[in-house]
Every structure is written in structure tokens, then in C-alpha cells.
Amino acid sequence: MGLAKSLKCIECSRTYSLDHVIYTCTSCGGLLDVVYDYSEVDAERLRGLWARRPMNVWRYQELLPVNSALAVSLGEGGTGLHRCDRLAQKLGVKELYVKNEGENPTGSFKDRGMTVGVTRAVELGVKATACASTGNTSASLAAYSAKAGLTCVVLVPSGKIARGKLVQAIAHGAKVLAIKGSFDDALREVRRLCEQRRLYLLNSINPFRLEGQKTLAYEVFEQLGMKVPDRVVLPVGNAGNISAIWKGFKELREIGLSEGAPKMMGVQAEGASPFASMIIEGRDKLKPVEKPETVASAIRIGFPVNWPKARMAVVESGGWVTIVSDKEIIKAQKDLARLEGLFVEPASAASIAGLAKMLEEGLVDKDETVVCVTTGHGLKDPDVVLKFYEEVVEVSPGEVEEALGEVLA
Ligand SMILES: Cc1ncc(COP(=O)(O)O)c(C=O)c1O
Ligand SMILES: [Zn+2]
């Protein structure tokens, strides 16, 4: 039996019953959070229950706000936590792990949220789901909607999403519309649509989705042998994931399973860094970026809707942020692929680029245990590799040795 009690506005504390279909507070427009009664949790009993189940999102069903008997699941979660000694040595940090979310069914962390969000849609009895997307959200929602037999509507910024992701949304039968505008324009449009029609909105403004995403924290804790790392470094786009993962770690502490919690370190790309700029400049309000631009299309977002929750995650955890260039992102992608065998998309590589910068800037200490979250698989965006990496050499039979040259030396 789940322990979720209500929805609560993070700004004015107004509470709503879980049966309410709302995405933001009707009094003040604030973001909503799912509230649990942690006093009812017996930590040891919970640990015993978890240990008997496979490692996936539903292992943690007591801390999810939907009926697990109705779960719409493709086997999400249970992704690898890879110890990366070769990369750690290169960067100059003692203990580095990569939590590789590209191992999820549709190749990104979004699946953790969608399994819970689409299960919620089924509980509500809606017939159709919708989202705006920089790519991965649409791929994931399309797949989970297909599994549940729901119609799926997807709005993407025209010409601005990676090919692999667009292909997934089409393959799973979503109705895909390319909006002439940015992701932020698409999100505004889909929010309006979902308020006026019977479509269930599954962007990360939906608090149920973030509940699924928080399970990454539980997994990291278990995979490290019931310990929390010193730092968690991850890319920030619409700022939902950093908020969700922080909630997961806070819960572990609240229910008495862990003693501490990691510092949450957000990374944004130079041309799309409204959140990181706000933190660095010490502001408490976000200034949107009108025309966000970066090679990391997944985090090409000018107005991250979850910024108030993400700001709390950084401040409460004692974390920080950094900003990386496209060049640093591509270099990090290559390093991770070539030193550790992990191929991740550019937005995900931002976490590695960000860690390199934080070490340089002295924000992270060499002796710390660091977990970088790589959010999506490299195959999502093949064009980036074809554009920025070595060209493939064409040869005739008989010219192979000559072309290999030094490789054979
Ligand atoms: C691969 C990848 N990384 C990071 C992000 C950013 O996550 P969030 O929007 O939760 O900050 C996204 C979001 O689309 C993504 O697809
Ligand atoms: Zn409110």
C-alpha cells in the first residue's frame, strides 16, 4: 500500500487531494509536490521488501503515488552504476561512477517518470496523453502510451530535435506536430491544450512524473552499498530531474535509511543556461533565455518550468552549478565513450564536462565520491558524431594497410 497523502503547493502550501487533476496550484500558480506521511514508514521493513524485488522503478512502490497493480511498465530503472576509473584518473578525482540512464527501455531517464505518469493516466481513465519535448520525453511517452493503449500527442520544436528521438515517437504511433518555434513555445501550447481538452499532460510539471524519476536516488544508494555519494552531477534542462533526484535522497534521510545526502550539482550549456546563471549571480528569480542554443538539443531550454524546485534542490543540498561550452560537451562525450565504453548523448555528456570544470574550479574535491548521471543514450543523436568526430575513410581492396598506417605500427 502506498503512503502518498496529497498534493501540496511548494509556494503557498495549499493542499489538494490526490484525485484532483491539476498540474499547478489554482491559488498561486506554484508547482505541486506529492506529500507522503513518512511517520508511517518502517525503514527496516521497507528495506526487506525492496530486497526481495528486482531492481527497477516498482521495487520502490510504497513511495510511489499510484497503484502498482496497474503499472504500465517496460522494465524501466535498474540501470548500471558504472565505476569509471580510467576517466576518474584523467579528470583527477578519486571515485567516479556513472549512472547510465541510457540503459532504460527507450534510452533515457524519462522512462522512470513515464511508467508512473502513464499509470496515473490509466488510473484516471483518460484516453490520451500529451507533451512538449526536446525529444526524449516524446520518445518515452509515445512508448508507454502505446503499451497502455492510449493516444499520444507530441509537440516538438521544428527541426530542433535529434533524429533518433523523433524516429521513436513516430514508430510508437504518436501524433507528432512540429511547432514553428522553440521548446518553450511548444510547452506553452501543450499546457493550453491540456487545460482545454481531455488530454493528460506528461511534461515534468506533472508531479506524478517526478515521483518516478526520484527512484534513481534509491538505486544509487543501494548500488553503493547503502551509502550516499558526496556529489551527484547532472545536466539541467527543464529542471525536473535534479528536483526529483534530490527528493529521493531527502526521503532516504527522512525515513532513516541514510544519514546524509549528496550535494546536487547542476550543469547547463553556455547558450541555454538561465538556471545556472541565476544561481551563480545569486538571484532568486529566473531570467529566461529568449533563443536558447546548444549542440545538446535535449537541454536547449530557455525557461525551465521547474526552476523553483531545482533552486531548492541546489540550495538545500549545499550544491552548486556550472556552465560548459559545446566544445567541452563533445570532448566529454568522446572521453566517456573511449575511456569507459559508455556512449551517451551530448546533454548527458554535459555532466562529465561539468564535473571536469567543477574540479578545475575547486568546487569539487579530488577525494570525493562523485556520481555523474548520464541521462540518454548516444544513439539518440547520431548526427552529432557524424558532424564532430573523425571521418570514415573509404578505401579500395588492397589499400587497407596503407590506410591503417600507424595503427599497425
Ligand atoms: C538526455 C537529457 N538530459 C537531460 C535533460 C534535462 O532534464 P530536465 O528537463 O529534467 O532538467 C533532458 C530533458 O529533456 C534530456 O532528454
Ligand atoms: Zn499555491
Tens of pLDDT along 78-120?
A: 999 999 999 999 999 999 999 999 999 999 999 999 999 999 9
Q: In whole angstroms, how large is the CA radius of gyration of the chain?
A: 21
Pairing of strands 151-157, 175-179: parallel
Residue at grid coordinates 551530448: 346
- Interval between CA 80 and ligand 1 midpoint (Å): 18
Could you tell me the three cell numbers for 3?
A: 503512503
- Choice from 31, 79, 100, 109 to test ligand 1 binding pocket (greatest atom count within 8 A of CB): 109
Q: Which of 79, 295, 336, 375 to mutate to test the pocket of ligand 1 (most atoms within 8 A of CB)?
A: 375
- The three grid cell numbers given for residue 168, joined into one nine-digit string: 521513436
pTM equals 0.97
* Ligand approaching nearest to the C-alpha of 16: 2
Per-residue model confidence (pLDDT) at position 208: 98
For residue range 325-377, what is the model confidence (pLDDT) as tens digits?
999 999 999 999 999 999 999 999 999 999 999 999 999 999 999 999 999 99
Which residues make Cβ contacts (< 8 Å) with residue 171, sequence separation at least 6? 142
Listed in sequence order, the residues at least 6 apart from 3 whose beta carbon sits closer than 8 Å to its beta carbon are 36, 37, 38, 40, 41, 62, 63
- pLDDT surpassing 80 at residue 22: yes
Q: What is the pLDDT of residue 111?
A: 98
How far is ligand 1, taken at its centre, from the CA of residue 99, in Å?
A: 14
pLDDT average, residue stretch 260-273: 98
Distance in angstroms (rounded) separating the CA atoms of residues 18 and 185? 29
CA 288 to centroid of chain Cα atoms: 20
Is residue 13 predicted with pLDDT exceeding 60? Answer: yes
Position of cell 506528461?
202
Strand order in the sheet with 151-157: 175-179, 151-157, 128-132, 200-201
- pLDDT greater than 80 at residue 70: yes
Q: How far is CA 153 from the centre of its chain?
A: 21
What atom in ligand 1 is closest to the CA of residue 244?
Answer: 10
For 216, 235, 380, the CA distances from 384, given in Å and listed in that order, are 27, 18, 10
Please state, as a whole number, how many other Cβ atoms lie within 10 Å of the Cβ of residue 19.
9
Q: Taking all residues of the chain, what is their mean pLDDT, rounded to a whole number? A: 97
| Cα 394 from Cα 391, distance rounded (Å) | 9
What is the distance between the alpha carbons of residues 176 and 161, in angstroms, rounded to a whole number? 12
Could you tell me if the CB of 264 is within 6 A of ligand 1? no
Mean pLDDT of 273-302: 97
pLDDT, one tens digit per residue, over 187-241 is 999 999 999 998 999 999 999 999 999 999 999 999 999 999 999 999 999 999 9
At 80 the pLDDT is 98
Distance, CA of 161 to CA of 351 (rounded, Å): 20
Predicted confidence (pLDDT) per residue in 375-403, tens digit:
999 999 999 999 999 999 999 999 999 99
Residues near ligand 2 ion, CB 5 Å cutoff: 9, 11-12, 14, 25, 27-28, 30
Spatial separation of the C-alpha atoms in residues 183 and 134, rounded to whole Å: 6
> Which pLDDT does position 409 carry in this prediction?
87
At residue 372, what is the residue type?
C
CB 32 within 8 A of CB 207: yes
- HSE, side-chain direction, 13 A CA sphere, residue 86: 9
Predicted confidence at residue 2, as pLDDT, reads 73
- CA–CA distances in Å: residue 51 to residues 40, 82, 238: 19, 21, 33
With a cut of 80, say whether residue 1 has pLDDT above it. no
The length of the chain is 409
